[in-house]
Structure 1
Amino acid sequence: MSDVETPVAEPTTRPRERRALGRALRYTVTVLVLALVGYVGGLATTSLWPITLQTQHFEASVRISPSWSNNSTVHLPTVFGDIDLEFHGPTPAPGIEGRVQVREEITELFTSGAVDIDELTPDQEELRTVMRDGLTELGWKFVGGVLGTNLLLVGLWFLGRPRKDSHSWWRPAEAVAAAVIVATLVPGIGALMTYRTSTYAAFTTTSLLSTVRGGSGMFTDIRGQAQQATPYVQNLLALSDALHQEFVNPDAFRPAAARFLLVSDIHGMNYYPLMERIIEDEDITAVIDTGDLVNFGRPREGEMAGLFSAIEDLGVPYIFVRGNHDATSPTDEAVLARMAEIPNVILLEPTAGTFVEAQVNGIRMSGFNDWRHFAEVNDDFKEQAREAGEAFAEGTRGWPLPDILVSHQPFALEDLPSAGIKVNGHMHTAALKGNQITMGSFTGGGLVNHFQVPQDEDPETAGELVGVPYAFDIVSFGEDCSLQTLTRYVYRNLVSGRPQFDNVSVLNGEQVATQPDPDGEPRTCGPDQPLQTEVIVPTDDPDGDDGADDGDGGAP
Structure 2
Amino acid sequence: MRLTTQHPAWARAGLVARWFAILVACYLGGVAATNLSPTTVETAHYRATLRLDPVPQPRPTLHSPTIVGDVDLAFTSPALAPGLDVAVSVREEITALLSRGSVSVRALQPSDEEVSAAIREAAIGVGWRFALGAAIVAIAFSVAVHYARRRRPERTHLAMVASALVVVSAGTGLSTALTYQPDRFAALSTTGVLGTVQRNAGLLEGVESRAEQATPYLRNLLALSQALQEKFVPADLTEQEVSARFLLVSDIHGANQYALMRTIIEEEGVDAVIDTGDLINFGQVQEGEAAGIFRGIESLGVPYLFVSGNHDQSSPTDRALLRRMARVPNVVLLQDPEGIHRELSFRGLRITGFNDPRYFGDDAQDPAGKQAPAVAAYNQAMEDEPESDLVLTHEPYAATGVESGRVLLNGHIHTSVLEGSRIQVGTFTGGGVVSHFIATDDEELRGQPYAFDLLTYGPRCALTQLTRYTYRNLLEGRPAYDNIQVINGATIDPRGAEEPRSCSSAAETTIRDIPVETPGEQGTTAPATVTTSTLGTPTTPPPTPSTPSTSSVSP
Trace 1:103-114 onto structure 2 (pairs within 5 A): 103=91
* 2:198 is the counterpart of 1:208: no
RMSD of equivalent CA atoms: 4.7
Trace 1:188-207 onto structure 2 (pairs within 5 A): 188-207=173-192
Code of the aligned partner of 2:404:
D
Trace 1:441-480 onto structure 2 (pairs within 5 A): 441-443=427-429, 457-458=441-442, 462-465=443-446, 469-477=449-457
Tell me the alpha carbon deviations over residues 510-540 of structure 1, each in whole angstroms, 9 at most, x when there is no partner. Answer: 555555579666x654xxx69x64233789x
Distance 2:60 2:401 in 1: 54
Q: Give 1:302's match in structure 2, choosing from 269, 288, 298.
A: 288
1:95 aligns with 83
Code of the aligned partner of 2:428:
F
The percent identity for this pair of structures is: 37
* 2:270 is the counterpart of 1:275: no
- The Cα shift of 1:346 comes to 3.3
Distance 2:77 2:316 in 1: 53
1:129 aligns with 117
* 2:23 is the counterpart of 1:42: no
1:320 aligns with 306
Contact 1:227 1:274 in 2 (8 A): no
Contact 2:57 2:81 in 1 (8 A): no
- The Cα shift of 1:505 comes to 1.5
SS of structure 2 residue aligned to 1:65: strand
- The Cα shift of 1:225 comes to 6.1
Trace 1:2-401 onto structure 2 (pairs within 5 A): 34-69=22-57, 71-103=59-91, 121-147=109-135, 149-150=137-138, 152-153=140-141, 169=155, 171-176=156-161, 178-214=163-199, 226-227=211-212, 236-251=221-236, 252-253=238-239, 259-295=245-281, 297-323=283-309, 325-327=311-313, 333-350=319-336, 352-353=339-340, 355-357=342-344, 359=346, 362=347, 364=349, 366-370=351-355, 372-374=357-359, 375=362, 379=369, 385=375, 387-392=377-382, 394=384
- The Cα shift of 1:368 comes to 2.8
Larger Rg: 1
User: CA 1:299–1:147 in structure 2 vs 1: closer, same or farther (change >3 Å)?
Assistant: closer
Distance 1:134 1:476 in 2: 59
Code of the aligned partner of 1:122:
P
- The Cα shift of 1:142 comes to 3.2
* TM-score calculated relative to the size of structure 1: 0.71
Code of the aligned partner of 2:375:
A
Distance 1:43 1:424 in 2: 45
Distance 1:149 1:281 in 2: 72
SS of structure 1 residue aligned to 2:54: coil
User: CA 1:219–1:49 in structure 2 vs 1: closer, same or farther (change >3 Å)?
Assistant: farther
- The Cα shift of 1:248 comes to 1.4
Distance 2:51 2:177 in 1: 16
1:16 aligns with none
Distance 2:260 2:213 in 1: 9
Code of the aligned partner of 1:471:
A
User: CA 1:285–1:93 in structure 2 vs 1: closer, same or farther (change >3 Å)?
Assistant: same
For structure 2, the residue ranges without an aligned partner over 5 or more in a row are 1-6, 516-546
User: CA 1:536–1:84 in structure 2 vs 1: closer, same or farther (change >3 Å)?
Assistant: same
Contact 2:207 2:476 in 1 (8 A): no
- The Cα shift of 1:210 comes to 1.9
For structure 1, the residue ranges without an aligned partner over 5 or more in a row are 1-18, 540-545
Contact 1:222 1:271 in 2 (8 A): no
Distance 1:538 1:23 in 2: 81
1:553 aligns with 554
* TM-score calculated relative to the size of structure 2: 0.71
1:534 aligns with 510
Contact 1:113 1:300 in 2 (8 A): no
Distance 2:144 2:549 in 1: 81
- The Cα shift of 1:287 comes to 1.9
User: CA 1:312–1:405 in structure 2 vs 1: closer, same or farther (change >3 Å)?
Assistant: same
Code of the aligned partner of 1:278:
I
Code of the aligned partner of 1:198:
D
* 2:425 is the counterpart of 1:439: yes
Code of the aligned partner of 1:369:
F
1:410 aligns with 399
- The Cα shift of 1:311 comes to 2.2
Distance 1:150 1:380 in 2: 43
User: CA 1:392–1:333 in structure 2 vs 1: closer, same or farther (change >3 Å)?
Assistant: farther
Distance 2:296 2:211 in 1: 12
- The Cα shift of 1:226 comes to 4.6
SS of structure 2 residue aligned to 1:291: coil
Tell me the alpha carbon deviations over residues 320-373 of structure 1, each in whole angstroms, 9 at most, x when there is no partner. Answer: 2334554567775432221122233233444543635354xx564532323634
Structure 1, 20-29 or 344-353: larger mean CA deviation: 20-29
Distance 1:140 1:154 in 2: 21
SS of structure 2 residue aligned to 1:95: strand
Distance 2:476 2:253 in 1: 18
User: CA 1:364–1:126 in structure 2 vs 1: closer, same or farther (change >3 Å)?
Assistant: same
User: CA 1:68–1:163 in structure 2 vs 1: closer, same or farther (change >3 Å)?
Assistant: closer
Distance 1:441 1:247 in 2: 27
User: CA 1:114–1:159 in structure 2 vs 1: closer, same or farther (change >3 Å)?
Assistant: same
User: CA 1:346–1:24 in structure 2 vs 1: closer, same or farther (change >3 Å)?
Assistant: closer
User: CA 1:37–1:312 in structure 2 vs 1: closer, same or farther (change >3 Å)?
Assistant: same
Which structure: greater strand fraction? 2
Distance 1:23 1:512 in 2: 83
Contact 2:430 2:436 in 1 (8 A): yes
Equivalent pairs counted in the alignment come to 507
